[in-house]
Amino acid sequence: MLDINRIRKEADAIKKNLSRRNPEWVKSIDEVIKLDKKYRDLLTQTEKLSAQRNAISKDVAKAKAAKDEQTASKLQKEVASIKTQAADLDKQATVLAKELKEKMLGIPNLPHESVPTGKDETENKEVHKWSEPTKFDFKPKAHWDLAVEDGLVDFERAVKLTGTRFTCYTKYGAKLIRALIQYTLDSNSAAGFQEMLPAVILNANSLTGTGQLPKFEEDLFKLTNGYYLSPTAEVQLTNYFGNEILPVKKLPIRFTANTCCFRSEAGSAGKDTKGVIRQHQFYKTEMVILSNPKDSYEQHEYMTRQAEKLLEGLKLPYRRIVLCTGDMGFGSCKTYDIEVWLPSYNSYKEISSCSNCEDFQARRMMLRYKDEDGQNKYVHTLNGSGLAIDRLWAAVVENYQQKDGSIKVPEPLQKYMNGLKVIPHEDWRK
Protein backbone atom coordinates (compact mmCIF):
# COMPACT_ATOMS: atom_id res chain seq x y z
CA MET A 1 0.00 0.00 0.00
CA LEU A 2 1.27 3.45 -0.86
CA ASP A 3 1.95 6.06 1.82
CA ILE A 4 -1.00 8.46 2.07
CA ASN A 5 1.32 11.21 3.34
CA ARG A 6 3.45 10.79 0.25
CA ILE A 7 0.37 11.00 -1.96
CA ARG A 8 -0.61 14.26 -0.28
CA LYS A 9 2.84 15.76 -0.82
CA GLU A 10 3.85 14.24 -4.17
CA ALA A 11 0.59 13.61 -5.99
CA ASP A 12 1.81 14.75 -9.41
CA ALA A 13 5.02 12.71 -9.26
CA ILE A 14 3.12 9.61 -8.10
CA LYS A 15 0.52 9.94 -10.86
CA LYS A 16 3.28 10.34 -13.43
CA ASN A 17 5.06 7.21 -12.21
CA LEU A 18 1.88 5.12 -11.94
CA SER A 19 0.88 6.15 -15.46
CA ARG A 20 3.95 4.19 -16.61
CA ARG A 21 2.05 1.10 -15.50
CA ASN A 22 -1.24 2.25 -16.95
CA PRO A 23 -2.67 5.78 -17.37
CA GLU A 24 -5.90 4.56 -15.76
CA TRP A 25 -4.23 4.56 -12.34
CA VAL A 26 -4.12 8.38 -12.38
CA LYS A 27 -7.88 8.36 -11.78
CA SER A 28 -7.44 6.21 -8.69
CA ILE A 29 -4.96 8.66 -7.17
CA ASP A 30 -7.36 11.54 -7.85
CA GLU A 31 -10.13 9.57 -6.15
CA VAL A 32 -7.89 8.89 -3.15
CA ILE A 33 -7.02 12.58 -2.84
CA LYS A 34 -10.70 13.50 -2.97
CA LEU A 35 -11.69 10.89 -0.36
CA ASP A 36 -8.77 11.84 1.86
CA LYS A 37 -9.79 15.51 1.81
CA LYS A 38 -13.38 14.65 2.75
CA TYR A 39 -12.14 12.40 5.54
CA ARG A 40 -9.78 15.01 6.97
CA ASP A 41 -12.49 17.69 6.71
CA LEU A 42 -14.77 15.47 8.79
CA LEU A 43 -12.03 14.97 11.36
CA THR A 44 -11.52 18.73 11.55
CA GLN A 45 -15.25 19.28 12.10
CA THR A 46 -15.28 16.58 14.77
CA GLU A 47 -12.33 18.18 16.56
CA LYS A 48 -14.08 21.56 16.52
CA LEU A 49 -17.24 20.04 17.94
CA SER A 50 -15.20 18.30 20.62
CA ALA A 51 -13.51 21.55 21.60
CA GLN A 52 -16.89 23.31 21.62
CA ARG A 53 -18.42 20.57 23.77
CA ASN A 54 -15.57 20.74 26.28
CA ALA A 55 -15.89 24.49 26.56
CA ILE A 56 -19.67 24.32 27.08
CA SER A 57 -19.24 21.49 29.62
CA LYS A 58 -17.07 23.82 31.69
CA ASP A 59 -19.80 26.47 31.49
CA VAL A 60 -22.31 23.84 32.70
CA ALA A 61 -20.12 23.18 35.71
CA LYS A 62 -19.88 26.88 36.43
CA ALA A 63 -23.67 27.34 36.11
CA LYS A 64 -24.30 24.45 38.47
CA ALA A 65 -21.77 25.84 40.93
CA ALA A 66 -23.69 29.13 40.81
CA LYS A 67 -26.94 27.15 41.19
CA ASP A 68 -28.20 28.60 37.90
CA GLU A 69 -30.19 25.52 36.90
CA GLN A 70 -31.93 27.20 33.96
CA THR A 71 -28.63 28.12 32.29
CA ALA A 72 -27.16 24.72 33.17
CA SER A 73 -30.13 22.93 31.60
CA LYS A 74 -29.89 25.02 28.43
CA LEU A 75 -26.17 24.36 28.12
CA GLN A 76 -26.66 20.64 28.72
CA LYS A 77 -29.07 20.52 25.81
CA GLU A 78 -26.40 22.17 23.64
CA VAL A 79 -23.89 19.54 24.77
CA ALA A 80 -26.35 16.77 23.90
CA SER A 81 -26.94 18.32 20.47
CA ILE A 82 -23.20 18.54 19.84
CA LYS A 83 -22.78 14.87 20.87
CA THR A 84 -25.43 13.89 18.35
CA GLN A 85 -23.73 15.90 15.59
CA ALA A 86 -20.34 14.41 16.53
CA ALA A 87 -21.73 10.87 16.49
CA ASP A 88 -23.15 11.48 13.01
CA LEU A 89 -19.80 12.81 11.81
CA ASP A 90 -18.03 9.79 13.35
CA LYS A 91 -20.26 7.45 11.37
CA GLN A 92 -19.55 9.35 8.17
CA ALA A 93 -15.82 9.31 8.95
CA THR A 94 -15.88 5.55 9.56
CA VAL A 95 -17.54 4.94 6.21
CA LEU A 96 -15.08 7.24 4.44
CA ALA A 97 -12.08 5.66 6.18
CA LYS A 98 -13.18 2.21 5.01
CA GLU A 99 -13.77 3.47 1.47
CA LEU A 100 -10.38 5.21 1.45
CA LYS A 101 -8.57 2.10 2.69
CA GLU A 102 -10.26 -0.10 0.08
CA LYS A 103 -9.27 2.35 -2.63
CA MET A 104 -5.69 2.48 -1.33
CA LEU A 105 -5.47 -1.33 -1.18
CA GLY A 106 -6.43 -1.51 -4.84
CA ILE A 107 -3.62 0.73 -6.11
CA PRO A 108 -0.40 -1.01 -7.27
CA ASN A 109 3.13 -0.22 -6.20
CA LEU A 110 5.27 2.46 -7.84
CA PRO A 111 7.82 1.18 -10.40
CA HIS A 112 11.47 1.76 -9.56
CA GLU A 113 13.15 4.32 -11.80
CA SER A 114 15.31 1.59 -13.38
CA VAL A 115 12.26 -0.37 -14.60
CA PRO A 116 11.68 0.03 -18.36
CA THR A 117 8.37 1.54 -19.42
CA GLY A 118 6.28 -0.80 -21.54
CA LYS A 119 2.74 -1.96 -22.14
CA ASP A 120 3.12 -5.78 -21.82
CA GLU A 121 5.54 -8.74 -21.82
CA THR A 122 6.69 -7.97 -25.35
CA GLU A 123 8.56 -4.96 -23.97
CA ASN A 124 10.47 -6.77 -21.21
CA LYS A 125 14.24 -6.44 -21.48
CA GLU A 126 16.68 -9.34 -21.52
CA VAL A 127 19.54 -8.83 -19.07
CA HIS A 128 21.66 -11.86 -19.90
CA LYS A 129 21.66 -15.53 -20.93
CA TRP A 130 23.53 -18.43 -19.41
CA SER A 131 24.64 -21.33 -21.63
CA GLU A 132 23.11 -22.24 -24.98
CA PRO A 133 19.81 -24.02 -25.63
CA THR A 134 20.18 -27.80 -25.37
CA LYS A 135 21.05 -29.53 -28.65
CA PHE A 136 19.96 -33.06 -29.51
CA ASP A 137 21.00 -35.51 -32.27
CA PHE A 138 17.44 -36.88 -32.23
CA LYS A 139 13.96 -35.41 -32.07
CA PRO A 140 13.34 -34.64 -28.37
CA LYS A 141 10.01 -35.35 -26.74
CA ALA A 142 7.92 -33.00 -24.62
CA HIS A 143 7.81 -33.85 -20.93
CA TRP A 144 4.09 -34.61 -21.11
CA ASP A 145 4.82 -37.44 -23.57
CA LEU A 146 8.16 -38.75 -22.32
CA ALA A 147 7.19 -38.68 -18.63
CA VAL A 148 4.00 -40.61 -19.34
CA GLU A 149 5.92 -43.22 -21.36
CA ASP A 150 8.45 -43.63 -18.56
CA GLY A 151 5.76 -43.86 -15.91
CA LEU A 152 6.89 -40.71 -14.11
CA VAL A 153 3.48 -39.05 -14.04
CA ASP A 154 -0.15 -40.06 -14.40
CA PHE A 155 -2.36 -37.28 -15.72
CA GLU A 156 -5.43 -39.41 -16.40
CA ARG A 157 -5.80 -40.79 -12.89
CA ALA A 158 -5.08 -37.35 -11.44
CA VAL A 159 -8.12 -36.09 -13.36
CA LYS A 160 -10.13 -39.01 -12.01
CA LEU A 161 -9.06 -38.23 -8.45
CA THR A 162 -9.56 -34.47 -8.62
CA GLY A 163 -9.96 -32.84 -12.04
CA THR A 164 -8.06 -31.03 -14.75
CA ARG A 165 -4.80 -29.19 -14.02
CA PHE A 166 -3.87 -31.61 -11.26
CA THR A 167 -0.97 -34.06 -11.43
CA CYS A 168 -0.03 -37.36 -9.82
CA TYR A 169 3.74 -37.97 -9.88
CA THR A 170 4.69 -41.64 -9.80
CA LYS A 171 7.72 -43.83 -9.16
CA TYR A 172 10.92 -42.07 -10.31
CA GLY A 173 8.86 -38.99 -11.16
CA ALA A 174 7.90 -38.62 -7.50
CA LYS A 175 11.49 -39.26 -6.41
CA LEU A 176 12.71 -36.57 -8.82
CA ILE A 177 10.26 -34.04 -7.36
CA ARG A 178 11.52 -34.85 -3.87
CA ALA A 179 15.14 -34.60 -5.01
CA LEU A 180 14.54 -31.17 -6.54
CA ILE A 181 12.87 -29.95 -3.35
CA GLN A 182 15.81 -31.13 -1.25
CA TYR A 183 18.33 -29.69 -3.69
CA THR A 184 16.74 -26.23 -3.69
CA LEU A 185 16.25 -26.12 0.08
CA ASP A 186 19.77 -27.31 0.85
CA SER A 187 21.28 -24.86 -1.65
CA ASN A 188 19.24 -21.94 -0.31
CA SER A 189 20.14 -22.84 3.27
CA ALA A 190 23.83 -22.89 2.34
CA ALA A 191 23.35 -19.40 0.88
CA GLY A 192 22.09 -18.03 4.20
CA PHE A 193 18.33 -18.57 3.94
CA GLN A 194 16.70 -20.00 7.09
CA GLU A 195 14.55 -23.01 6.26
CA MET A 196 10.92 -22.86 7.37
CA LEU A 197 7.88 -25.14 7.07
CA PRO A 198 4.70 -23.05 7.43
CA ALA A 199 1.05 -24.05 7.23
CA VAL A 200 -0.63 -23.76 3.82
CA ILE A 201 -4.01 -22.59 5.13
CA LEU A 202 -4.16 -18.83 5.58
CA ASN A 203 -6.45 -16.15 6.94
CA ALA A 204 -7.55 -13.10 4.99
CA ASN A 205 -5.29 -10.71 6.92
CA SER A 206 -2.17 -12.52 5.74
CA LEU A 207 -3.28 -12.43 2.11
CA THR A 208 -4.17 -8.76 2.43
CA GLY A 209 -0.71 -8.09 3.84
CA THR A 210 1.08 -9.36 0.74
CA GLY A 211 -1.46 -7.98 -1.73
CA GLN A 212 -3.43 -11.02 -2.93
CA LEU A 213 -6.53 -9.58 -1.25
CA PRO A 214 -8.75 -7.85 -1.96
CA LYS A 215 -7.83 -7.36 -5.62
CA PHE A 216 -7.00 -10.94 -6.66
CA GLU A 217 -9.46 -13.06 -4.70
CA GLU A 218 -10.62 -14.85 -7.84
CA ASP A 219 -7.13 -16.37 -8.17
CA LEU A 220 -7.40 -18.02 -4.74
CA PHE A 221 -9.01 -21.20 -3.46
CA LYS A 222 -11.30 -20.17 -0.60
CA LEU A 223 -12.35 -22.71 2.01
CA THR A 224 -15.84 -22.88 3.49
CA ASN A 225 -14.74 -21.53 6.89
CA GLY A 226 -13.29 -18.31 5.49
CA TYR A 227 -9.70 -19.51 5.25
CA TYR A 228 -7.76 -19.77 1.99
CA LEU A 229 -5.25 -22.20 0.51
CA SER A 230 -1.86 -20.57 0.12
CA PRO A 231 -0.99 -19.42 -3.43
CA THR A 232 2.70 -19.08 -2.50
CA ALA A 233 4.84 -19.36 0.64
CA GLU A 234 5.70 -15.69 0.08
CA VAL A 235 2.53 -14.97 2.06
CA GLN A 236 3.50 -17.00 5.13
CA LEU A 237 7.17 -16.00 5.18
CA THR A 238 6.61 -12.27 4.60
CA ASN A 239 3.83 -12.07 7.20
CA TYR A 240 5.82 -14.05 9.77
CA PHE A 241 6.87 -10.89 11.63
CA GLY A 242 3.76 -8.88 10.72
CA ASN A 243 2.65 -6.33 13.32
CA GLU A 244 6.08 -6.51 14.95
CA ILE A 245 9.01 -4.13 15.28
CA LEU A 246 12.40 -5.72 14.55
CA PRO A 247 15.77 -4.45 15.76
CA VAL A 248 17.80 -3.11 12.83
CA LYS A 249 20.71 -5.41 13.66
CA LYS A 250 18.46 -8.39 12.88
CA LEU A 251 18.18 -7.33 9.22
CA PRO A 252 18.39 -8.77 6.66
CA ILE A 253 16.29 -11.81 7.51
CA ARG A 254 16.29 -14.48 4.81
CA PHE A 255 13.73 -17.29 4.73
CA THR A 256 13.23 -20.25 2.41
CA ALA A 257 10.45 -22.84 2.40
CA ASN A 258 8.98 -25.44 0.11
CA THR A 259 5.22 -25.79 0.21
CA CYS A 260 2.31 -26.97 -1.83
CA CYS A 261 0.76 -23.94 -3.52
CA PHE A 262 -2.74 -23.52 -4.91
CA ARG A 263 -4.02 -21.17 -7.60
CA SER A 264 -7.30 -21.14 -9.48
CA GLU A 265 -5.52 -19.91 -12.63
CA ALA A 266 -8.47 -17.61 -13.33
CA GLY A 267 -8.22 -16.16 -16.81
CA SER A 268 -5.67 -18.73 -18.00
CA ALA A 269 -8.03 -20.85 -20.08
CA GLY A 270 -6.16 -22.38 -23.01
CA LYS A 271 -2.70 -21.47 -21.65
CA ASP A 272 -0.15 -24.27 -21.09
CA THR A 273 -2.85 -26.93 -20.85
CA LYS A 274 -0.39 -29.77 -21.45
CA GLY A 275 2.02 -31.07 -18.89
CA VAL A 276 2.90 -29.61 -15.50
CA ILE A 277 3.66 -25.99 -16.38
CA ARG A 278 0.39 -24.44 -15.16
CA GLN A 279 -1.37 -26.42 -12.43
CA HIS A 280 -3.92 -25.71 -9.72
CA GLN A 281 -1.67 -27.44 -7.18
CA PHE A 282 2.10 -27.24 -7.47
CA TYR A 283 5.30 -27.26 -5.45
CA LYS A 284 7.48 -24.20 -5.03
CA THR A 285 10.57 -23.40 -3.04
CA GLU A 286 10.25 -19.77 -2.02
CA MET A 287 12.79 -17.21 -0.87
CA VAL A 288 11.86 -14.12 1.16
CA ILE A 289 14.12 -11.36 2.44
CA LEU A 290 13.19 -8.71 5.01
CA SER A 291 15.68 -5.93 4.41
CA ASN A 292 16.89 -2.58 5.65
CA PRO A 293 15.70 -0.12 2.95
CA LYS A 294 19.22 1.18 2.36
CA ASP A 295 20.44 -2.13 0.91
CA SER A 296 17.26 -3.78 -0.39
CA TYR A 297 18.37 -3.56 -4.01
CA GLU A 298 21.63 -5.31 -3.15
CA GLN A 299 19.51 -8.01 -1.52
CA HIS A 300 17.39 -8.13 -4.66
CA GLU A 301 20.47 -8.94 -6.74
CA TYR A 302 21.60 -11.49 -4.14
CA MET A 303 18.25 -13.30 -4.24
CA THR A 304 18.12 -13.31 -8.03
CA ARG A 305 21.67 -14.68 -8.29
CA GLN A 306 20.76 -17.46 -5.86
CA ALA A 307 17.88 -18.53 -8.12
CA GLU A 308 20.23 -18.46 -11.10
CA LYS A 309 22.86 -20.52 -9.27
CA LEU A 310 20.28 -23.26 -8.72
CA LEU A 311 19.85 -23.57 -12.49
CA GLU A 312 23.57 -23.31 -13.13
CA GLY A 313 24.16 -26.15 -10.66
CA LEU A 314 21.84 -28.33 -12.75
CA LYS A 315 23.41 -27.03 -15.98
CA LEU A 316 20.05 -25.84 -17.31
CA PRO A 317 20.18 -22.97 -19.85
CA TYR A 318 18.32 -19.86 -18.73
CA ARG A 319 17.98 -16.14 -19.27
CA ARG A 320 17.21 -13.23 -16.95
CA ILE A 321 14.80 -10.49 -18.00
CA VAL A 322 13.66 -7.34 -16.22
CA LEU A 323 9.92 -6.86 -16.44
CA CYS A 324 8.58 -3.64 -17.90
CA THR A 325 5.99 -1.53 -16.08
CA GLY A 326 3.09 -3.10 -17.97
CA ASP A 327 4.02 -6.67 -17.02
CA MET A 328 5.28 -6.41 -13.45
CA GLY A 329 3.27 -7.68 -10.48
CA PHE A 330 0.84 -5.61 -8.42
CA GLY A 331 3.07 -5.23 -5.35
CA SER A 332 6.44 -5.03 -7.05
CA CYS A 333 8.75 -2.05 -7.53
CA LYS A 334 11.13 -4.09 -9.69
CA THR A 335 11.02 -7.69 -10.89
CA TYR A 336 13.48 -9.99 -12.57
CA ASP A 337 12.07 -13.10 -14.23
CA ILE A 338 14.35 -16.06 -14.77
CA GLU A 339 13.30 -18.27 -17.66
CA VAL A 340 14.59 -21.81 -18.20
CA TRP A 341 15.01 -23.40 -21.62
CA LEU A 342 12.26 -25.92 -22.46
CA PRO A 343 12.79 -27.84 -25.72
CA SER A 344 9.06 -28.64 -26.01
CA TYR A 345 8.31 -24.93 -26.38
CA ASN A 346 11.54 -24.23 -28.27
CA SER A 347 11.79 -21.21 -26.01
CA TYR A 348 12.42 -20.03 -22.45
CA LYS A 349 9.71 -20.39 -19.80
CA GLU A 350 9.46 -18.56 -16.47
CA ILE A 351 10.74 -20.56 -13.52
CA SER A 352 11.42 -17.78 -11.02
CA SER A 353 10.21 -14.26 -10.41
CA CYS A 354 12.28 -12.18 -7.97
CA SER A 355 10.75 -8.91 -6.78
CA ASN A 356 11.58 -6.00 -4.50
CA CYS A 357 8.35 -4.62 -3.07
CA GLU A 358 10.10 -1.97 -0.97
CA ASP A 359 7.71 -0.94 1.88
CA PHE A 360 4.48 -1.67 -0.05
CA GLN A 361 3.70 -4.96 1.73
CA ALA A 362 5.26 -3.96 5.06
CA ARG A 363 2.92 -0.96 5.26
CA ARG A 364 -0.09 -3.25 4.79
CA MET A 365 1.03 -5.66 7.51
CA MET A 366 2.67 -3.10 9.84
CA LEU A 367 6.06 -4.81 9.60
CA ARG A 368 8.65 -2.36 10.94
CA TYR A 369 12.15 -2.09 12.33
CA LYS A 370 13.70 0.30 14.84
CA ASP A 371 16.58 2.17 13.21
CA GLU A 372 19.85 3.34 14.79
CA ASP A 373 18.13 6.53 16.00
CA GLY A 374 15.29 4.64 17.66
CA GLN A 375 12.76 5.56 14.95
CA ASN A 376 10.22 2.98 13.75
CA LYS A 377 10.36 2.51 9.98
CA TYR A 378 8.96 0.02 7.49
CA VAL A 379 11.20 -2.79 6.27
CA HIS A 380 11.56 -3.59 2.59
CA THR A 381 10.21 -7.01 1.59
CA LEU A 382 11.56 -9.13 -1.26
CA ASN A 383 10.37 -12.46 -2.61
CA GLY A 384 11.47 -14.88 -5.28
CA SER A 385 10.97 -18.44 -6.46
CA GLY A 386 13.96 -20.58 -5.76
CA LEU A 387 12.58 -22.43 -7.71
CA ALA A 388 9.17 -23.47 -9.14
CA ILE A 389 9.61 -27.22 -8.66
CA ASP A 390 7.14 -28.63 -11.22
CA ARG A 391 8.60 -26.45 -13.96
CA LEU A 392 12.10 -27.39 -12.85
CA TRP A 393 11.04 -31.05 -13.04
CA ALA A 394 9.83 -30.53 -16.61
CA ALA A 395 13.10 -28.78 -17.50
CA VAL A 396 15.21 -31.66 -16.16
CA VAL A 397 13.08 -34.30 -17.90
CA GLU A 398 13.25 -32.51 -21.24
CA ASN A 399 16.85 -31.27 -21.22
CA TYR A 400 18.35 -34.50 -19.86
CA GLN A 401 16.42 -36.96 -22.03
CA GLN A 402 18.33 -39.46 -24.15
CA LYS A 403 17.59 -41.06 -27.50
CA ASP A 404 16.41 -44.35 -25.97
CA GLY A 405 13.86 -42.53 -23.79
CA SER A 406 15.87 -42.71 -20.59
CA ILE A 407 16.66 -39.56 -18.61
CA LYS A 408 20.02 -38.70 -17.10
CA VAL A 409 19.92 -37.54 -13.49
CA PRO A 410 21.87 -34.28 -12.98
CA GLU A 411 24.89 -34.89 -10.74
CA PRO A 412 23.68 -32.66 -7.82
CA LEU A 413 20.45 -34.69 -7.62
CA GLN A 414 21.98 -38.16 -7.60
CA LYS A 415 22.66 -38.17 -3.86
CA TYR A 416 18.97 -37.48 -3.25
CA MET A 417 17.98 -40.42 -5.48
CA ASN A 418 20.13 -43.10 -3.82
CA GLY A 419 22.91 -42.71 -6.36
CA LEU A 420 20.67 -43.20 -9.41
CA LYS A 421 22.39 -41.78 -12.50
CA VAL A 422 19.82 -42.60 -15.18
CA ILE A 423 16.05 -42.93 -15.00
CA PRO A 424 15.39 -45.97 -17.19
CA HIS A 425 12.99 -45.97 -20.11
CA GLU A 426 10.26 -48.40 -19.12
CA ASP A 427 7.06 -47.88 -21.07
CA TRP A 428 4.53 -48.87 -18.43
CA ARG A 429 1.71 -48.83 -20.97
CA LYS A 430 3.03 -51.93 -22.78
Q: What is the pLDDT of residues 20-53, one digit of tens each?
A: 999 999 999 999 999 999 999 999 999 999 999 9
Are the C-beta atoms of 168 and 161 separated by less than 8 Å?
Answer: yes
The share of the chain scoring above pLDDT 70, in percent, equals 98
CA geometry: angle at 6 spanning 248 and 98, to 5°?
A: 95
Amino acid at residue number 369: Y
**φ and ψ at residue 383, rounded to 5 degrees:** -145, 150
Kindly state whether residue 111 falls inside one of the protein's structural domains.
Answer: no
Confidence of residue 268 (pLDDT cuts 50, 70, 90): low
Last residue of a domain, one of 105, 129, 155: 105
Position 427 scores a pLDDT of 61
Please give the Cα distance from 58 to 42 (Å, whole number).
24
Q: Are residues 225 and 138 in the same domain?
A: yes
For range 60-65, the mean pLDDT? 89
Q: Are residues 211 and 99 in the same domain?
A: no
Confidence of residue 60 (pLDDT cuts 50, 70, 90): confident
On the 0-12 / 13-18 / 19+ scale of CB atoms within 10 A, 224 is exposed
Position 266 scores a pLDDT of 62
Kindly state whether residue 401 falls inside one of the protein's structural domains.
Answer: yes
Nearest of 340, 284, 346 to residue 312 by alpha carbon: 340
The share of the chain scoring above pLDDT 90, in percent, equals 94
Q: Are residues 96 and 207 in the same domain?
A: no
Q: Are residues 167 and 306 in the same domain?
A: yes
Position 208 scores a pLDDT of 98
Tens digit of each residue's pLDDT (9 = 90 or more) over 117-126: 999 999 999 9
Helix (H, G, I), strand (E, B) or coil at 331: coil
Please give the Cα distance from 268 to 344 (Å, whole number).
19
Tens digit of each residue's pLDDT (9 = 90 or more) over 313-355: 999 999 999 999 999 999 999 999 999 999 999 999 999 999 9
Last residue of a domain, one of 105, 132, 155: 105
Q: Are residues 71 and 200 in the same domain?
A: no
Nearest of 141, 259, 144, 270 to residue 200 by alpha carbon: 259
Name the average pLDDT for the chain: 96
Position 168 scores a pLDDT of 97
The residue range of the domain holding 314 is 121-423
Task: Say what the pTM is.
Answer: 0.94
For range 181-199, the mean pLDDT? 98
Kindly state whether residue 340 falls inside one of the protein's structural domains.
Answer: yes
Kindly state whether residue 114 falls inside one of the protein's structural domains.
Answer: no
Q: Are residues 69 and 183 in the same domain?
A: no
What is the gyration radius of the CA atoms in the chain, in angstroms? 28
Helix (H, G, I), strand (E, B) or coil at 321: strand
Position 308 scores a pLDDT of 98
Q: Are residues 135 and 283 in the same domain?
A: yes
Q: Are residues 155 and 18 in the same domain?
A: no
Last residue of a domain, one of 42, 72, 105: 105
Tens digit of each residue's pLDDT (9 = 90 or more) over 216-225: 999 999 999 9
CATH number at residue 39: 1.10.287.40
Report whether pLDDT(267) > 70: no
Kindly state whether residue 113 falls inside one of the protein's structural domains.
Answer: no
Q: Are residues 212 and 300 in the same domain?
A: yes
Kindly state whether residue 61 falls inside one of the protein's structural domains.
Answer: yes
Q: Are residues 91 and 193 in the same domain?
A: no
Q: Are residues 367 and 332 in the same domain?
A: yes
Are the C-beta atoms of 284 and 233 separated by less than 8 Å?
Answer: yes
Domains in the chain, number: 2
CATH number at residue 210: 3.30.930.10
Kindly state whether residue 428 falls inside one of the protein's structural domains.
Answer: no
Kindly give, in sequence order, each residue whose CB lies less than 8 Å from that of residue 355, ignoring residues fewer than 6 positions away. Answer: 300, 328, 329, 331, 332, 333, 334, 335, 336, 382, 383, 384
On the 0-12 / 13-18 / 19+ scale of CB atoms within 10 A, 183 is buried
Position 64 scores a pLDDT of 87
Q: Are residues 233 and 134 in the same domain?
A: yes
Kindly state whether residue 110 falls inside one of the protein's structural domains.
Answer: no
Kindly give, in sequence order, each residue whose CB lies less than 8 Å from that of residue 327, ignoring residues fewer than 6 positions away. Answer: 118, 120, 121, 123, 124
Confidence of residue 270 (pLDDT cuts 50, 70, 90): low
